[in-house]
Amino acid sequence: MSDIGFDRFTFGFTIKDSPDYLINVSSWGNDEYINGLSNSFSIGDCVIIENPLVAPKDPEKEDRLCPSTPRLLDSRDFNSLGDIVANGQSLDRNVINILTDVRSVAEPKYFTTEDGRKGQRLEVKLFDDSVTSFPLVIDRIRLLSVLQVLFILDARFDFDSFRNCMTATVNSKTIITVNPDTKEASLLFSYAKEISASGVLDEDDRPGDVPVRQLKLKAQENPEVFCGITYSFISKLDLDASVSKVIRSRW
């Protein structure tokens, strides 16, 4: 948010000191302060908040600046990834709770938007006892590792036309509990260790061949670098230009 002469930044998070009560916190400051604060702690850490300004939520404000208080965590209130895959596009734009394992964590991606704002993106592959791979996109870098059990409260699910499958997204309203102390999480972790030992998670789960039309559409929608496989032919090649990008061809 811009003010006369300087920019202001905000960082929002949720705190709780009991199973029943949660409070949303918004911290304001300059770029250096807010970025330092957001990187100084993560989910599960204990924090001290000094001299806060406490105020009731204003329902007339935009929801992004005054997020709704999340409901009480319930270890049994979740859907399996198999349920989501089975229902497919009927769950497009729905907010759902899931209990899942981490299959893989990609390298974080950092980018700058056209208006100069800096952003970040982390892609994670999830799995459970019903699905071996399910994509999750996180808009803030988090420390996650393979085989961690995640209880994700209020994840958004959308149909990705490029991947041709459902995907999960974490936003400012989502709460992630790492390795929750529940019976369901313990059973899922035991399954994760068993399936990991079998070597199934080592198999490549990259997407199959992608039509050129979808590649062009993906490039227009997202400026980030992405990978895919396409079976196609070259319709135009400028021999006077560099052809170093053509690495190998197989006939």
Consecutive 10-residue averages of pLDDT for the chain (251 residues)? 64 79 84 88 82 70 49 70 92 94 90 81 92 89 85 92 88 83 92 88 60 72 62 70 54 48
What's the pLDDT score for residue 6?
63
Q: Are residues 32 and 88 in the same domain?
A: no
Q: Give the residue from 148, 153, 156 showing the smallest Cα distance to 185.
A: 148
Q: Give the residue from 52, 60, 62 showing the smallest Cα distance to 23.
A: 52
Q: Are residues 85 and 198 in the same domain?
A: yes
What DSSP designation does 226 have?
-
What's the pLDDT score for residue 66?
46
What's the pLDDT score for residue 43?
77
Q: Are residues 116 and 181 in the same domain?
A: yes
Q: Are residues 58 and 89 in the same domain?
A: no
Q: Are residues 63 and 103 in the same domain?
A: no
The total of structural domains in the chain comes to 2
Residue 102 lies in a domain: yes
Buried b / exposed e over 69-105, threshold 16 CB at 10 Å, is: eeeebeeeebbbbeebeeeeeebeeeebbbbbbbbeb
What's the pLDDT score for residue 65?
45
Find the domain containing 2 and state its range.
1-69
Q: Are residues 115 and 198 in the same domain?
A: yes
pTM of the model: 0.58
Q: Are residues 102 and 51 in the same domain?
A: no
Contact 64, 172 (CB under 8 A): yes
Chain centre to alpha carbon of residue 53: 30
DSSP per residue over 60-97, as a string? TS-TTTSPPPPPPP-TT--B-HHHHHHHGGGGTTEEEE
What is the three-class DSSP state of 117? coil
Contact 101, 188 (CB under 8 A): yes
Residue 251 lies in a domain: no
Residue 17 lies in a domain: yes
Token pair, residue 85, equals 């895959």
Residue 234 lies in a domain: no
